[in-house]
Structure 1
Amino acid sequence: MTQYQKAGEAAAALQERLGMQPEIGIILGSGLGGIAGQIAERREIPYGELPHFACSTAPGHKGQFVAGEWSGKRVICMQGRLHFYEGHPLTDVVFPVRVMRRLGVGTLIVTNAAGGVNLEYAAGDLMLISDHINLMGKNPLAGPNEPEFGPRFCDMSYTYTPALRELAKSVADELGIPLREGVYLGCSGPSYETPAEIRAFRMLGADAVGMSTVPEAIAASHCGMRLLAFSLITNMAAGVLDQPLTEEEVLETGERRGKDLERLLAQVVERL
């Protein structure tokens, strides 16, 4: 069975449970799952109850879809994503994106927790992703292409939709929420990067580093979805500060600054 067929079966099972047609998809990163609590008349569907789905094991990731109405729009959230470092092949990591596309979702919003590479950044900053660098060593489109999703060679020039980025910056200005804009570099993890790697990433032009988002962004671009993505800088990357990195710091900063991201996303979603 092809990925397109599997995504169709999962989408059909999900649609039966939802009872509505979502128009916007949202992927919630580490420590940011509280956004799902803002959704009205929500329905929660664990990934494990859907065909062909893998389950999330990462801290701070519940591993379920949450769907309903938010800011006047029909949305479906991934409350917890799948990661390459959990041992999932990238086809499984991006499978939920393809399922949302088969559900009819045309716009995807992605969030993540990231380490600050840019020395002007600080823990707690919000960054609008303008582009990415893939250093995961893998690409979710490798292998036989399924033309039902998209072309064999996928153009990545406008992966992060320019019009949506302009909307996000305008909304942030109106709300008085400082919003940086920069390049996200994706690594495979699960170990944090070394200080030497962070110095190299800075020379490559990266502003933030993390272990997600890049596969989903590639898959979304491949199947023609509009994409908007944000990093919450939960810690400064290795070697920037004289202290070790911990997952507790990531989750704590996510809870502390997640409210600003909630306010920003609520207004963005309302205007889509």
Structure 2
Amino acid sequence: MPSDQEYTRLQDILSAVRQQSQRIPRLALLLGTGLGAIADAIEVEVRIPYQQLPEMPVSTAESHAGELLLGTVHGISVVAFSGRLHCYEGYAAHEVVVPVRLARLLGAQYLIMGSAVGGLDPRLQVGDVVVLEDHINAMGVNPLVGPNDDRIGPRWPDMIEPYDQGLLSLAHQQALSHGLALRSAVYVAVLGPNLETRAEYRMLRNWGADVVGMSTVPEAIAAVHCGLKTLSFAVVTDRCLPDALEPADISKIIAAAQSAEPTITTLLSSIVPQLQEM
């Protein structure tokens, strides 16, 4: 989409949100597969289904509610997107990142994401929570392709630090203080919606990836582009070991993601209040 049209779309959505709330969030939350219940920790002021926002792409993935929430969590003003968008749903990359850009226009300075991933590192078990330290984009798409709009971000954003080092350190500190296991991981994003072949899993692991998923990277790129400091958690929902693969069961994947909600909620409850002073 030409940049002027994209900016107009964002302004139209922003205007619709502002008609219901003037809240300026400090933090944006973007919640993925099986993690929607984390939104229950938010003291909600306004709840807006995506369908009520003009030109807002609507999530079709299972377990994604498709709602924008405005309120507070642990004393911090927040906008939360319960349900994310994926390129495999048929959306272009620039549509997938509309929530990220909207969050920035609303005033957010920080973005925390959650997603479900497959574990490529054999040390990872189902239910483990990891925090992303870097990523590999194997999706073949990028939300920044096309004319750049300087009102959204610069033409050549530097991806040397896609996930904020200060937030990463804070996450590890809080995990340690609560006795929670939290590994750093490199995420590789694939287009989907099919899961990978044994040969593909071997290749992705050889590239240096620890986990694999079908989201997160477009949003992380857009976040860097528009100036959001980003932290991303992921829950290992299945083990992607080429020589020990089992048939995928989506219901088990969602259940595994949901089982990690208490861990992520604990981490968020200790990290979020400290954003007030950062």
Q: TM-score when scaled to structure 1?
A: 0.97
1:89 to 89, 92, 95: 92
Matched to 1:219, the amino acid is A
Contact 1:15 1:21 in 2 (8 A): no
Aligned to 2:248: 245
Matched to 1:185, the amino acid is V
Contact 2:186 2:210 in 1 (8 A): yes
Matched to 1:96, the amino acid is P
Matched to 1:8, the amino acid is Q
The CA deviation at 1:16 is 2.2
**Aligned: 1:160 with 2:163:** yes
Q: Which runs of 5+ in 2 are unaligned?
A: none
Matched to 2:233, the amino acid is F
Q: Which moved more, 1:233-242 or 1:89-98?
A: 233-242
Is the partner of 2:19 in helix, strand or coil? helix
Aligned to 1:76: 79
Distance 1:240 1:100, change over 3 A: farther
Matched to 1:135, the amino acid is A
The CA deviation at 1:241 is 3.1
The CA deviation at 1:37 is 0.9
Count of residue pairs the alignment pairs up? 272
Q: Which moved more, 1:237-246 or 1:7-16?
A: 237-246
Is the partner of 2:11 in helix, strand or coil? helix
| Structure 2: distance between partners of 1:54 and 1:238 | 34
Is the partner of 2:221 in helix, strand or coil? helix
Contact 1:128 1:231 in 2 (8 A): yes
Aligned to 1:36: 39
Q: Deviations over 1:83-110 (max 9, x none)?
A: 0000011111001111111111111001
| Structure 1: distance between partners of 2:241 and 2:13 | 39
The CA deviation at 1:18 is 2.5
**Aligned: 1:212 with 2:219:** no
Q: Deviations over 1:42-80 (max 9, x none)?
A: 421011111121111000101111221111101111100
Matched to 1:263, the amino acid is T
| Structure 2: distance between partners of 1:119 and 1:42 | 43
Matched to 2:139, the amino acid is M
Aligned to 1:58: 61
The CA deviation at 1:239 is 2.6
Contact 2:97 2:143 in 1 (8 A): yes
1:132 to 135, 148, 157: 135
Identity %: 39
Matched to 1:210, the amino acid is G
The CA deviation at 1:240 is 5.3
Is the partner of 1:18 in helix, strand or coil? coil
Q: Which runs of 4+ in 1 moved over 3 A?
A: none
Q: Which runs of 5+ in 1 are unaligned?
A: none
Aligned to 1:14: 17
Contact 1:192 1:238 in 2 (8 A): no
Aligned to 1:147: 150
Aligned to 1:182: 185
The CA deviation at 1:12 is 2.0
1:115 to 115, 118, 129: 118
The CA deviation at 1:255 is 1.5
Distance 1:258 1:143, change over 3 A: same
Is the partner of 2:12 in helix, strand or coil? helix
Matched to 1:176, the amino acid is G
Q: Which moved more, 1:6-15 or 1:86-95?
A: 6-15
Is the partner of 2:260 in helix, strand or coil? helix
Contact 2:122 2:241 in 1 (8 A): no
Matched to 2:74, the amino acid is S
Matched to 1:181, the amino acid is S
Contact 1:238 1:245 in 2 (8 A): no
Matched to 1:204, the amino acid is W
Contact 1:117 1:236 in 2 (8 A): yes
The CA deviation at 1:140 is 0.6
| Structure 2: distance between partners of 1:95 and 1:162 | 24
Q: TM-score when scaled to structure 2?
A: 0.95
Contact 2:44 2:69 in 1 (8 A): no
